[in-house]
Amino acid sequence: MYLRKFLIFVCVISGLQSFAQSYESVENVIETAKESSRFNLLVKNNDYSLARECAENLVVDNQIFLSDYLCNNTLYKLKSQNTKVYAVCLIRELYTTKNNSLKRLVAPIYYYQLFLNTTKPDSINLLLNEYSSLVNKYNSYDTKIDLYSILIVKRLQTINTVSNETIHSILSQSIINLLKFKEVDFKDHIDKSLLNSRMWCRLMLANLYYLDYKVTKETNPELLRKSSEYSCDINDFIYIHHISAVTRLLFGIDQMGFDGEYAKYLIANSDKRQALEVLTKRAMLLPSNKNMLTLRDLFRDTDTGKDFKTYWIEKLNAFYKPVKNLSLSTIENKKLKISDFKGSWVYMDVWGSWCAPCKNDLPNVQKFYEQIQNDSTANIKMLTLSYNSTNIKGFMNQNNYTFPVAEIESYENNVLNVYFFPTRFLITPDGSIIRIPFVTNWSEMVRNFALF
């Protein structure tokens, strides 16, 4: 049992989360991980023919790995002048396969690299006709085709060789296909196995609607509203780190959608109250310094009848769900419950001594603990939860860590819906639990949530 957990964890921290959760046998996990590592090595050594043969095996058992590899690693190489030639060689070799599953997976990025290397109008029109047939028959999440549609549209806008009507047609077809995935509009009771694909589809929809808004020369504000509606919501943030590279490519580091653009439109059209709601939602998901500053500036110009602190905490408590009142035991055998902290903010960090990313971040956790201990104005406590650690007291003493630790097991882990390590939470003074986004500066998020 412990060996199986360890092997799956190795896959998780290596970026192979999707398939690590999909297999019941350790043997399958090991073999697929070996083949994935071999593919990486072959590509690194520019041995593209053998990489294609390896990919033909991988597409049977680990299609998501290949899709993610093309979407992240190869796509970024394609966009860099220093590595573009290597990416093109790999893509074109993979596309020569007689394996239909692999060819289907590679087709979107294959056509994208053709668009990057083509400027003649006749060639562009021919590629568009061929690519349109792919959009109509390929699934977005499996092939990531809608991401490439977005990138192709941006490329076409740069070289200015096709009409806005043609671009609008491409965007509209992708939107129609994505809306077939009904879960994109679900808010509650979402099947956990669909959260990742739901997040991806919503991310693509937000971008497609915004591009269409721009293409139609900003004459249809409903498209802008839709781009804001499908921007990352509370469910999407559970899995957003899976595609953090893609989100930064599309949005930048400080935002996860188009709420800010929609708020600007609302303000320009004298609807500050609705703009405040839009920016509040964005800040409640991602309270970066930039987002909080924008929100505070608009709040000062909007009559709410409340001070900002009252307004903020009320919104957080309405937006986030109450925490379960878990009974815990610290490593000093002190019994406590979550409800014991009522009236204070509580930063909660779930980690394990076996987890490399956790161990790398624990010095920051210790530093943050010392800072809040020495800040008499900060109404915040800290409680860390260690899962499956061994000799936790020895580990704490060896590293001179003094922050409080309670050991938890699978029950507590499941109640808190911990999918990855480390996972960070913040509990409001009224007992609502906030999941801190994985890809962010967590201490900045905590300070801005708790307003200190």
Asked which of 302, 319, 336 is the last residue of a domain, the reply is 319
pLDDT of residue 374: 92
Contact by Cβ (8 Å): 347, 338: no
CATH code at position 341: 3.40.30.10
The model's confidence at residue 15, banded by pLDDT at 50, 70 and 90, is very low
Q: Kindly report the backbone phi and psi dihedral angles of residue 216, in degrees, each rounded to the nearest multiple of 5, phi listed first.
A: -85, 20
208 has a pLDDT exceeding 60 = yes
Taking each helix axis as running N to C, give the angle between helix 100-116 and helix 145-159, from 0 to 180 degrees, rounded to the nearest 10.
20
**Are the beta carbons of 144 and 69 closer than 8 angstroms?**
no
Of the pLDDT bands very low, low, confident and very high (cuts 50, 70, 90), residue 277 is very high
Domain limits for position 314:
266-319
Three-class SS of 161-221: CCCHHHHHHHHHHHHHHHCCCHHHHCCCCCCHHHHHHHHHHHHHHHHHHHHHHHHCCCCCH
Same-domain check for residues 7 and 99: yes
Q: What value does the mean pLDDT take over residues 166-195?
A: 83
Domain match, 305 and 349 both: no
Give the tens place of pLDDT for each residue, 291-337.
999 999 999 999 999 999 999 999 999 999 999 999 999 999 999 99
pLDDT at 78: 86
For residue range 64-123, what is the model confidence (pLDDT) as tens digits? 888 888 888 888 888 788 899 999 999 999 999 999 999 999 999 999 999 999 999 999
Residues 253 and 307 in one domain: no
Say if residue 24's pLDDT is above 50: no
C-alpha pair distances (Å), 266 with each of 220, 225, 259, 296? 13, 10, 10, 16
CB burial class (10 A; 0-12, 13-18, 19+) of residue 326?
middle
User: For the chain, what is the mean pLDDT?
Assistant: 87
Does one domain contain both 213 and 183? yes
Question: CA-to-CA distance for 252 and 61, rounded, in angstroms?
Answer: 33
| Phi, psi (rounded to 5 degrees) for 116 | -65, -25
Q: Which residue has the tokens 């047609």?
A: 169
| Of residues 185 and 202, more confidently modeled | 202
Q: What is the mean predicted confidence (pLDDT) over 7-34?
A: 51
Q: Where are the alpha helices (DSSP H) in 15-99?
A: 17-20, 26-44, 48-61, 63-69, 75-78, 84-95
Q: What's the CA angle centered on 122, arms 120 and 123, to 5 degrees?
A: 65
- Both 230 and 363 in a single domain? no
Q: Looking at residue 165, what is its pLDDT?
A: 92
Residues 51, 7 within the same domain: yes
Rounded Cα distance between 348 and 101, Å, is 44
Instruction: Give residue 196's pLDDT.
Output: 80
pLDDT of residue 243: 59
Q: Are 37 and 22 in a shared domain?
A: yes
Query: What value does the mean pLDDT take over residues 391-404?
Result: 96
Terminal CA-CA length for the chain? 44
- Residue 93, Cα to own-chain centre: how many angstroms? 30
245-257 pLDDT per residue, tens:
666 666 654 557 8
* Cβ–Cβ < 8 Å for 212, 172: yes
Q: How many angstroms from the chain centroid is the CA of residue 44?
A: 26
Grouping H, G, I as helix, E, B as strand and the rest as coil, residue 349 is: strand
Residues 258 and 131 in one domain: yes
- The verdict on 238 and 100 lying in the same domain is yes
What would the two tokens of residue 14 be? 């290596």
**pLDDT value of residue 29:** 63
HSE-up of 297 (CA within 13 Å, CB side)? 9
Same domain, 271 and 343: no
Q: Which pair of structure tokens corresponds to residue 353?
A: 């001594």
Same domain as 297, residue 154: no
CA-only gyration radius of the chain, Å: 24
Single residue among 319, 354, 385 that ends a domain in this structure: 319
Task: Lowest mean pLDDT of 24-33, 157-166, 297-306, 342-351, name the range.
Answer: 24-33
Report how far apart, in Å, the C-alpha atoms of 21 and of each of 4, 18, 119, 193, 241 are: 12, 6, 43, 10, 16
Domain final residue pick, 284, 319, 354:
319
Q: State whether 60 and 14 are in the same domain.
A: yes
Answer yes or no: are the C-beta atoms of 364 and 383 closer than 8 Å: no
Q: Is-contact 311 299, C-beta < 8 A?
A: yes
Sign of the Cα torsion 349, 353, 354, 360 reads: positive
The fraction of the chain above a pLDDT of 90, given in percent, is: 67
For range 407-428, the mean pLDDT: 92
pTM: predicted TM-score of the whole model, two decimal places:
0.85
Q: How many domains does the chain have?
A: 3
